[in-house]
Structures are given as structure tokens and as C-alpha cells.
Amino acid sequence: MSDIESITVSDEGFACVNHVGDFEFTVDATDEAGPNPNATLVATYASCFLPAFRVGGQQRGHDDLGKIQIDADADLDEDDDLESVRFAVHVAADLDDGTADELVDRAEDICHVHAALREELQAEIEVYGDAF
């Protein structure tokens, strides 16, 4: 048996309904019925990196990072393939640059999406102490 199973269905057009466990979500290549696959990948990457950053903080004695927000943006090449990804990580806790760098390194080791991406697509990450 597989560790992850999903079912993706498209009755017509370019929208796909995905079923993963008890969850259902739509991905649409045309951005009409849901976000496109590239946007979904960037959001999934950020959704993996944020809890990895928090876990990395806990592992390094920073149990209360408070609110964390990732503003992610990405560039596409001429074929509409992802070319680069950037994260601006806003953290409520007061972290010095060395600690922020340490937590980023730990989060990169923990985040499964980061590990799955080819190196040139792994996010450029900046950490800011101004979570809104």
C-alpha cells in the first residue's frame, strides 16, 4: 500500500478536482475554478516550510515564535514553468540574524517539499521580525 493516495478527476475542461483522504480541492490550469498548478505548488511549499520553521525553532529552544506569515512569490520562464521562488518570512518573535539563519537552515532540512524540488527552485528566504 502507498503512503499517499489521491484521486484527480476532470469531467471536462482544465479544472481538476482532487481527493486526498477526506479532503477535496480544485486546481485549474486556467485559474477559473481554482488556483493553477504552479500557484498551488508555491502555496504548498510555503505551507510545508512554515510549520518546518516553527518545528526548527522548537528544536533550537525557541518555543514561542508567535505569528508567522510567509509572503511567497515566484517567477515563470517563457514556457510558464516555475523558474524561481522567494519567501519573505515574517515572525513575531524577536530573532537576531544568526538565529533566523539557523532556523531557515533547519526548516530547509525538515520541509519535505523543499527536499523534493530541484535546487534551482528552492526558495530564496528572507526573515523579518515584523509579523502583522
Left, alpha or beta for 37 (phi > 0: left; psi -120 to 50: alpha)?
A: alpha
DSSP H helices in 15-125: 37-59, 97-110, 112-116
This prediction has a pTM of 0.89
Helical (H) or strand (E) element with 5: none
Burial of 45 (0-12, 13-18, 19+ CB in 10 A): buried
All three cell numbers of 118, joined, read 530541484
User: Is the distance from CB of 114 to CB of 45 less than 8 angstroms?
Assistant: yes
All three cell numbers of 1, joined, read 500500500
- Cβ neighbours of residue 127 under 8 Å, at least 6 residues apart? 89, 90, 91, 95, 100, 101, 103, 104
Q: What is residue 87's three-state secondary structure?
A: strand
Under DSSP, the state recorded for 120 is: G
Query: Can you list the domains of the chain with their CATH numbers?
Result: 1-34 (no CATH), 37-128 (3.30.300.20)
Write out pLDDT tens, residues 68-126.
999 999 999 999 999 999 999 999 999 999 999 999 999 999 999 999 998 888 878 88
Write out pLDDT tens, residues 19-62.
999 999 999 999 999 999 999 999 999 999 999 999 999 999 99
CA atoms within 13 A on the CB side of 37: 10
